[in-house]
Structures are given as C-alpha cells and as structure tokens.
Copies of this chain bind each other. A is one copy, B any other.
C-alpha cells in the first residue's frame, strides 16, 4: 500500500469534523468544493486526498454526508475505542485527563501517572493517579494503545524510552523537546513553545519586510 502523507491524514481529520457537523444539521450530500471551503484548501486537494483510499462520491452530485463520514471514521481507525494512558499529572496532564473530547471520540483514558508522592493516590473523575514507578507492569497488563506524555522536558525522553521498552506503539508528546523513538513507534508532538515562536516569527518578519503580501488564510 502506498505511503500516505501526514498532511493528508491531518486534512482527513478536518474533513471528518466538518462532515459530522453537517450530519448533525441533516445535510444529505456535500461537494468537494464545500468541503474544501471549510477545510481551508482546494476541491482538487480534497478529491486527491480521498482518492488514496477509494472512490466515495457520485459524479454530478458530490458525496453522501453519512457515507463519507463513516468511510473516514473507518480509514482513521475510529470504529473502535483506544486505550489511552496519561503520564504526568501536572497542569497539562490534569487538563487532558478531564478533557471530555477524548472519551467522546473513543479515546478512553484508563490511567494517569506521576512520580510526585503528593499527587499519587489523588482522584479525579474516577481516575486515581498512580505511581509512575510501576508503569511497566501496568502496560504489560493493560496494553494501552496510546500514551500521552505530559512531563517536564528533561524527563520526557527517559519516560518515552521506558514506554517504548514496555511496548507502547504510539505517543502523543507535549514536551517542548524532540522525542526519539524506534521506527515502529509513532510520535506526534504538540509543542506550545514552537507554536508561539512561529507566531513571533510571523509578526516579526511582517514588520521587518513591511506589510508582507503573504496569502495564507486558514491555519496550518
């Protein structure tokens, strides 16, 4: 099977979000044009993205909203639930553990870990914070699909190594540093510092060059 670009997968997510919204509003069909408008891209891009996975539309008519929704959920692997653990019960970890959106989309947080004895044992919404020291044993037993890494930068790589050794194959990292893993482990990372610096760069170079005529309108 052909390798799918990450940019394509990101856009599929965006299309799905909008399709679900359209589904709720009772729309029956939608064109690549409209999907593109809302996703901040072009209709050719939408069709190309979908074409990697099959042929979902009807010429002259567009796509059936519920059918395309279902297909995208299928492609993205969202027909099942995923077992997620969160490592790090600091500001971010706490916010994530309580974030409703996770469960809503089938990502079930089954455990939260920290190393701070003052945090271990505390309970949020039916989840007890566990000691990170025992995480390998837990991973062995529960085989979580995804680990969310919400620990300070200095500790991130060390914890990642332990997670990988214990068998975790997917990591969502919030650490401000780059995480290295073997090729069979997928890492996505959210780096706030990087995003802010991207904005800082944009604001600065705009000033430096005098009202740049750039033409980006939708984000990323």
Within 8 A of B (CB), among A134-175: 145-146, 169-173
Hey, what's the 0/1 contact readout for A1-35 against B, CB within 8 Å counting as 1? 10110100110111011100100000000000000
A51: Cβ under 8 A from any B Cβ: no
Complex contact A188–B199 (CB within 8 A): yes
Contact partner of A190 among B21, B146, B192, B201, CB < 8 A? B192
**Across the two chains, which residue of chain B brings its CB closest to A173?**
B219
Contact of A38 among B178, B183, B200, B201 (CB under 8 A): B178
Would you call A78 and B200 a contact (CB within 8 A)? yes
Q: Is the CB of A180 within 8 A of B91?
A: no
Is the pair B194, A13 in contact by a Cβ cutoff of 8 Å? yes
Residue A217 is within 8 A (CB to CB) of chain B in the complex = yes
Segment at the B interface, from A54-62, A98-106, A114-122 = A98-106
Q: CA A98 – CA B217 in complex, angstroms?
A: 30
A112 CB to closest chain B CB, in angstroms?
A: 14
Task: Determine the chain B residues whose CB is within 8 A of the CB of A192 once the complex forms.
Answer: 96, 99, 101-102, 190
Known: A107-B196, A187-B219; 16 extra A-B contacts, CB below 8 A, are: A4-B205, A6-B198, A12-B201, A13-B194, A18-B178, A82-B196, A82-B200, A91-B99, A95-B95, A105-B196, A170-B202, A172-B195, A183-B216, A186-B198, A190-B192, A190-B195
